[in-house]
Amino acid sequence: MKINKIIFTVLIVSAFCMTGCLGLFNPPVKSILFSFEEHYNAYATAKINFVNSSKSGVRLVDCDGYTFPPAAQGTQWETSVEFPAGIEMELRVYVYWNEDRFGERRRGVFKCPPLEGNKSYRLSFNGNFKGGKLVLTNAEPGFSSNKVVYEQIIPPVRK
């Protein structure tokens, strides 16, 4: 009888430590929108969502040499970023794709055309190591997701 009480107490304490304490030490991470507006003194901004899937994706490295500062504790940067509208920019990006069991990636520059203020866009990669293209589409409600604004060809990987 005494052994049953000890085992029951140990199980209760273990369950509390594994579930209750985890929530105290790992609070939920909050996603924050980053804006490059301050680097350009922009009056209007546009938002680009960098599309990632299990097969391919695009990740922003920097914009005209301006990089992300580290996110504050308990936060992370969203996959959407605000950019100044009305100017051309060079966005350095990582493009990745997964084929079979090998994951490949490469870095390149996306020559972003001037964006319209207060609009939303998506930047995605269509292709593989044989080449492909970065595709900027309109992401505004009411627009077809395949309304291409701009495409940039990515040449094949050299061996």
Q: Number of folded domains in the chain?
A: 1
The DSSP call for residue 41 is: T
Judge whether 71 lies within some domain.
Answer: yes
Per-residue model confidence (pLDDT) at position 98: 80
Judge whether 7 lies within some domain.
Answer: no
Could you give the angle at the alpha carbon of 157 between the alpha carbons of 77 and 98, nearest 5°? 50
Alpha carbon distance 38, 47 (integer Å): 15
Alpha carbon distance 149, 147 (integer Å): 6
Radius of gyration of the chain (CA): 22
Judge whether 6 lies within some domain.
Answer: no
Per-residue model confidence (pLDDT) at position 23: 52
Judge whether 8 lies within some domain.
Answer: no
Domain that holds residue 134: 28-154
What is the chain's pLDDT, residue by residue, as a tens digit (159 residues)?
677 666 666 556 666 666 655 555 567 889 999 998 888 887 899 999 999 888 888 999 999 999 988 988 889 999 999 999 999 999 999 988 886 556 677 888 999 999 999 999 999 998 877 888 999 999 887 756 568 999 999 887 776
Give the tokens for residue 56: 């391919």
Judge whether 47 lies within some domain.
Answer: yes
- Cβ partners under 8 Å of residue 35, min gap 6: 45, 81, 82, 83
Per-residue model confidence (pLDDT) at position 12: 65
Judge whether 38 lies within some domain.
Answer: yes
Judge whether 22 lies within some domain.
Answer: no
Judge whether 91 lies within some domain.
Answer: yes
